[in-house]
């Protein structure tokens, strides 16, 4: 092979492909051809061990594998693509492309494509079908478009296509192309800031057609670190506009003008969908932020203020119901107040906490709740393997008196006139007129009041 003339130059660009590069190189080396080929690899200063794998293969196949190992990353300097690093040193009549994170699967891929190009001088390039590998799943792309072309073609093994057909419905993959090297005009290529694949494909089909072979012979890996797959949709639209703008500027004609204007239109259509979603997402985020701020910063601040009229204005706006003559002292805190209703003539003392997240809190008339009491409708199930929550309504009937630092748990009903002693934890229903205390709360007496009073407690500045 040393003295034979190279027929195909395989161009491979790689950067940090340590997980993939071995598959790519093995796919090149397994090619069974009746002609010699070379493998041109450009490693753009990989930092993950990719270059070590390339050196391993280079040592075994020094006459075939011809790498360039960059010391500094050229992509970051704006020097990108095979057109700079591999095309100028290619010795083959034809050039095949495959990046280091993709790979070929058919050992006769190059042989098939070269035979087509050798027997059809009217074609400048030959492509074929491929699979996309993403998240462990293989998918054959653009099958509907390809099948439609096959049906119209007399040759069921593939079909001929034009420049216009390709750019109207994109159905090819870069890793599948073999093209004639004499398509490359370096004086023209050097005018581009970046000579992308679509520029190459344009010049391949500008004056001649191409052939699509309906054999699946390669795998395109789509992953987050890929140059294209890792880009946002907006960035892709901007890249398209830049590419088509340069194409029109360097090769101006009615078709390249159409392609450039179409890229602008596609971005415009994308933005018409993208911007409202972005705005709505931002608006929803802002509304949620504002809601959290109100609930956990602004309202608690107001509820600590010594201005009772302002506190009562807030609770009457927020709660499902607050009856007449009821009064909230400073420091009362609450969550989901739309599930909480308070009857008439009630007093909710300093630093009481009311929770409406897991159910409703219904408080009757003339209820006295002393300071630092916590009433919960939601709690974690201590026996649940995943610490899930359970909830239930809390009902507090008329004339109940709850002393300081009581905790009332979900799904509890406290009957009319009952009394809860200081520090008790109420875990189950309390019968009417029963006095309970302790942890958990248990009956300790019976209340003997006729319940003829009306609570009217409105202390100043408290």
**Residues acting as catalytic residues:** 380
Cα separations in angstroms, 458 against 189, 329, 348? 85, 8, 10
CA distance 372 to 329: 11
Cα separations in angstroms, 152 against 120, 142, 155? 20, 16, 9
Q: Which residue from 427, 447, 449 is spatially nearest to 438, judged by alpha carbons?
A: 427
Q: Which residue from 309, 357, 311, 314 is spatially nearest to 331, judged by alpha carbons?
A: 311
Cα separations in angstroms, 293 against 124, 300, 314? 64, 10, 15
CA distance 310 to 199: 69
Q: How much of the chain is helix, strand and coil, in % rounded to 5?
A: 35, 25, 40
Q: What residues have CB less than 8 Å from 282, skipping those under 6 apart?
A: none
CA distance 66 to 318: 74
Q: Which residue from 122, 129, 125 is spatially nearest to 145, judged by alpha carbons?
A: 129
DSSP class of residue 90 equals -
Instruction: Give the DSSP letter string of 334-377.
Output: EE-GGGEEE-SS-EE-TT-EEE-SSS-EEE-SS-EE-TT-EE-S
10 Å Cβ neighbour count for 445?
12
């Amino acid at each position: 092979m040393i003295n034979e003339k190279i027929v195909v130059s395989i161009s491979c660009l790689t950067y940090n492909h340590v997980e993939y590069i071995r598959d790519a190189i093995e796919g090149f080396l397994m090619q069974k051809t009746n002609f010699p080929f070379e493998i041109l690899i450009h490693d753009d200063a990989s930092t993950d061990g990719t270059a070590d794998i390339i050196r391993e293969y280079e040592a075994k196949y020094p006459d075939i594998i011809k790498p360039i190992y960059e010391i500094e990353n050229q992509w970051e300097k704006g020097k990108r693509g095979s057109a700079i690093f591999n095309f100028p040193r290619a010795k083959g009549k034809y050039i095949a492309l495959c990046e280091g994170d993709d790979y070929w699967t058919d050992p006769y891929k190059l042989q098939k494509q070269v035979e087509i190009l050798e027997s059809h001088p009217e074609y400048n390039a030959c492509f074929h079908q491929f699979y996309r590998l993403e998240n462990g799943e293989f998918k054959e792309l653009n099958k509907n478009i390809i099948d439609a072309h096959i049906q119209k073609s007399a040759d069921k093994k593939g079909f001929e296509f034009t420049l216009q057909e390709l750019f109207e419905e994109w159905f090819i993959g870069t890793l599948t192309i073999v093209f004639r090297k004499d398509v490359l005009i370096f004086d023209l290529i050097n005018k581009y800031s970046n000579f992308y694949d679509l520029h190459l494909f344009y010049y391949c089909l500008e004056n001649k057609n191409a052939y699509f072979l309906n054999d699946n012979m390669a795998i395109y890996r789509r992953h987050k670190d890929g140059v294209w797959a890792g880009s946002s949709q907006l960035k892709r639209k901007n890249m398209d506009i830049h590419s088509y703008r340069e194409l029109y500027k360097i090769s101006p004609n009615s078709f390249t003008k159409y392609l450039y204007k179409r890229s602008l239109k596609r971005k415009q259509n994308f933005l018409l969908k993208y911007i409202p979603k972005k705005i709505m997402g931002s608006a929803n985020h802002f509304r949620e932020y504002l809601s959290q701020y109100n609930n956990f910063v602004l309202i608690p601040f107001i509820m600590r203020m010594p201005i009772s009229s302002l506190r009562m204005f807030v609770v009457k706006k927020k709660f499902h119901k607050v009856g007449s003559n009821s009064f909230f002292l400073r420091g009362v805190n609450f969550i989901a107040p739309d599930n909480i209703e308070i009857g008439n003539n009630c007093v909710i003392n300093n630093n009481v906490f009311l929770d409406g997240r897991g159910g409703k809190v219904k408080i009757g008339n003339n209820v006295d709740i002393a300071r630092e009491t916590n009433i919960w409708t939601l709690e974690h199930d201590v026996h649940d393997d995943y610490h899930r929550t359970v909830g239930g309504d809390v009902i507090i009937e008329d004339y109940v008196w709850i002393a300081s630092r009581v905790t009332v748990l979900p799904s509890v009903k406290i009957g009319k006139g009952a009394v809860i002693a200081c520090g008790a934890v109420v875990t189950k229903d309390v019968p009417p007129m029963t006095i309970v205390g302790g942890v958990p709360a248990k009956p300790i007496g019976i209340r003997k009041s006729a319940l003829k009073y009306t609570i009217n407690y409105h202390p100043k500045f408290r």
